[in-house]
Amino acid sequence: MSTTPRPSTTRRAALGTGLLVGALVVAGCGAGGEASSAEPAASGSAGGGAPAGDREITVVATDTPAYSGPLEIAAETLEADGWTVDITYVTDIVQPNNAVSTGEFDFNFFQHGAYLQTFNRDNGTDVVPLFYAVGSPAGVYSVTHDSIEDLPDGARIALPVDPANNGRALHLLAGAGLLELAEGAQVVSTSQEDITDNPRGFEFVEVDQQTLTQTLPDVDAGFLFIRQAIEMELDPNEDALLFEDDLDAIPYRIVFGGAPDAVGSEKTEALREAFQSDEVRAFYTDFYGDWAPLPWDEDPQEQVADWWTEG
């Protein structure tokens, strides 16, 4: 089996300086994070518009085990099938969509559908969800209180500041009868402005999503993505005060993003088939547990219209 060298630590360090100014300009989406960039790919190498015979797949992905683990498994399968795979890992959540939108990379792998749509809206990009990787229900956790009923009046609760995730904990709290939200408030666009009644006087602390784990010990409760809870050795089934159902969290399923012309392309189908494999399934079961939702028989292109309604 032929192999392609993965980006080295030195290369990844270099990625952190190239487009710093651009990252600061687009950071208005509220995502925050450390700026990164990548060296431009050759013209015509992005998305489904690659020239005939192009057997290279380029991916920019987030540098955490929950993403790099399954992606490396898929890369080995692709390389065994004759593809060249170039993966660049970054730590921010701003540049990967810009890099795909400008044609620097074929695909990105770091985000859920709701964040993707919010980013497109706020930054004028046109990246589309190509296929699902894994469901990503999240929850509200605490290291000081054992149940949601134990939260005191005036409890400080940490929320991610980015608009796509800001309302998830608010909807969980509203579903538990602890808040009231404006009628018709959509989870992907809800913010504190949609709170119509806060009888317990909860105080919400908004932080960058990358710092939620560091913030949790300093507040009464906080929102965590499932991978963050697992990294903190918290059990979603036992330790979450409130937890989303996967069907309620369809906009928050993790997707592979690409250019519009990548939908149904040879590269996309090759990557999808390699990723949605028994080996990757085993990785997710080992990493998340038996409950890990893998909606591989569903198509985000058919569901994307239900994620977002303007207004």
Question: The tokens 């797949």 sit on which residue?
Answer: 57
Nearest by Cα to 168 from 188, 183, 142:
188
- The answer to whether the CB of 127 falls within 8 A of the CB of 118 is no
Q: CB–CB of 162/250 below 8 Å?
A: no
Same domain, residue pair 20 and 128: yes
Residues 201 and 276 in one domain: no
- Output the pLDDT for position 39: 36
Between 65-80 and 278-288, two packed helices, what is the crossing angle to 10 degrees?
170
| 19 plus 129 within the same structural domain | yes
When divided into structural domains, the chain yields a total of 2
When pLDDT is cut at 50, 70 and 90, the band that residue 310 belongs to is low
Average pLDDT over residues 232-251: 85
- Residues 160 and 229 reside in one and the same domain: yes
Question: Is residue 2 one of the residues assigned to a domain?
Answer: no
pLDDT by residue (tens digit) across 165-219?
A: 899 999 999 999 999 999 988 888 899 999 999 999 999 999 998 899 999 999 9
Residues in the chain: 311
- The pLDDT score that the predictor gives to residue 308 is 64
State pLDDT tens for residues 56-83: 999 999 998 999 999 999 999 999 999 9
Asked if residue 24 lies in contact with residue 102, where contact means CB atoms within 8 angstroms, the answer is: no
The answer to whether residue 4 is domain-embedded is no
Q: Are residues 173 and 238 in the same domain?
A: yes
User: For residues 63 and 23, what is the distance between their CA atoms, to the nearest angstrom?
Assistant: 18
Separation CA 241–CA 219 (nearest Å): 14
**Whether 120 and 153 share a structural domain:** no
Whether 83 and 59 share a structural domain: yes
Q: In this structure, what CATH number is given to the domain that contains residue 73?
A: 3.40.190.10
Domain span at 130: 9-136+250-306
Residues 269 and 294 in one domain: yes
Does this model's pTM top 0.85? My answer is no
Whether 311 is in a domain gets the answer no
On whether both 89 and 156 belong to a single domain, the answer is no
User: Rounded to the nearest 5°, which phi and psi values hold at 51?
Assistant: -65, 155
Cα(130)–Cα(118) distance, integer angstroms: 16
Residues 43 and 98 in one domain: yes
